[in-house]
Amino acid sequence: MKAASISRGLLRNPPLITLALVALVWIVAGLSLRGFAAVGHLRYILELSAIIGIVAAGQTLVILVGGIDLSVGAVITVTAILLPLISPDWDPTGLLGVVLTLAIAAVIGLANAMGQVFLKVPAIIMTLAMATFLQGLLVLIAGGSAVSVTNEAVIWLGSARPFGVPAGIIVWIAVAAAVLTAIHRRPFGARLLALGANPLAARLSGVDVSRTTFAVYALAGLFSGLAGLLVLGMNRQGYVGIGDPYLMTSIAAVVLGGTSILGGRGSYAGTIPGAILLVTTTALITVVNASPGWRSIMFGSLILALLLISGREAQR
C-alpha cells in the first residue's frame, strides 16, 4: 500500500523519474563497466552536462511559456566565433569581451521576441529564421576557417578547477539556482506557467505578455551565449557549426525532464537530470565502443518511453 503510493507519487513527479533513471544508469554502469565510475569520468560527464544544462535552462523557460527556441545552436556558434574577434587586446582579463559577447547573445534573443511580439510571427518560425540568418552571417564573417581563443577569462572558464570542481559546473550551479528561484519563488515563474497554459486568460488576468516574452527569449539568448563561451573555452577554437549539436539536445533535455512541450507545465528541476541523462547515454555508448547511431536511437526511445510512463502529455 505504502510502496504503491510512493511509486505513484514518483510517477507523478517527472523530475524524480528522470533523476532515478540517472542514478540507476550510473549504478549499473559503475558496477559493470571498468572506468565508468571513476571520479574523473563522472566529473567529465557533469562538465559536458553543464553545457547542455545551461543551454537547456533558456530552452526550459521558452518551452514553459509555450514557445520553442530553434536558434540556441546558432547563438552558441555566434558567441564562439565572435568572442575571439571582438575581445579587445588591451583588456588582459578578457572580461570586456565576455560581457560584450553575452550582450550580443541577449540582443539576439530580444530580436526573437520582437518578431513574435510586434510581427506576430510564431516562435518556431521566428527562431528558425534567426538561426538560418545567423549561420549565413557567420559564413560571411568567419568564412570556413576556425578562430582560436586567447581570451583569458574564457580559457579559465574552460579549464579552471577551483577545489577540483570544473568552472563550467560552478557556472551551471549558479544558473540552476537562479532559474529555479525564478520559476518557483518569483512571480515571473508563475506568470510564465500561466502564459504557457492559457495565454488569453493570463493576459486578461494582467500578465504582461510582451514583457514576459522579451524576458524569456533574452534569457534564452544569454544562456546560449554563456554555453557558447564554455564550449569555446573547452575547445579553444570556434568554427561554423560548433553549436549545432546543442539545439536538439537542449530540447531533448527539457522533454526528458518532464516539461510539457506544449507549455504551461514543468520545471527546470527536471531538465537538470535530463541533461545528465543525455550525456551519460553518450558516454555509455563511447565506453562500450558502440556505433554513435545507437546514441540517437537510445535518445529517441528514452524520450518516448519516459513520456509514456508518466502519461504527462495525455493528462492535458
- Whether the Cβ atoms of residue 276 and residue 44 lie closer than 8 Å to each other: no
Nearer to other proteins, 286 or 313 (CB): 313
Does residue number 298 form part of the binding site for other proteins (CB under 8 A)? no
Nearer to other proteins, 26 or 268 (CB): 268
Closest among 121, 131, 132, 158 to 236, alpha carbons compared: 158
**How far apart (Å, rounded) are the C-alpha atoms in residues 203 and 66?**
14
Among the residue ranges 138-146, 197-205, 217-225, 228-236, the one whose residues contact other proteins (CB under 8 A): 197-205
Contact partners, residue 39, CB within 8 Å, separation at least 6: none
**How far apart (Å, rounded) are the C-alpha atoms in residues 296 and 153?**
34
Does residue number 40 form part of the binding site for other proteins (CB under 8 A)? no
CB of 210 vs other proteins, minimal distance in Å: 9
CA distances from 139 to 47, 81, 132, 144, 242 (A): 29, 10, 11, 7, 13
Does residue number 201 form part of the binding site for other proteins (CB under 8 A)? yes
Options 12, 91, 173, 198; binder of other proteins; rule CB under 8 A: 198
What is the separation of C-alpha 282 from the centre of its chain, rounded to a whole number of angstroms? Answer: 16
Site string for other proteins, 101-120 (x = CB under 8 A): --------------------
Does residue number 316 form part of the binding site for other proteins (CB under 8 A)? yes
DSSP 161: -
Question: Is residue 237 helix, strand or coil?
Answer: strand
CB atoms within 10 A of CB 47: 20
DSSP 238: E
Does residue number 258 form part of the binding site for other proteins (CB under 8 A)? no
Nearer to other proteins, 71 or 212 (CB): 212
Does residue number 147 form part of the binding site for other proteins (CB under 8 A)? no
For other proteins, the binding residues in 202-221 under the rule CB under 8 A are: 202-208
Does residue number 313 form part of the binding site for other proteins (CB under 8 A)? no
For other proteins, the binding residues in 168-187 under the rule CB under 8 A are: 181, 185-187
Options 194, 230, 231, 247; binder of other proteins; rule CB under 8 A: 194
Counting residues that bind other proteins (by CB under 8 A) gives 23
Does residue number 200 form part of the binding site for other proteins (CB under 8 A)? yes
- Whether the Cβ atoms of residue 80 and residue 232 lie closer than 8 Å to each other: yes
**How far apart (Å, rounded) are the C-alpha atoms in residues 52 and 247?**
9
Give contact residues for other proteins (rule: CB under 8 A).
181, 185-187, 190-191, 193-194, 197-198, 200-208, 264-265, 315-316
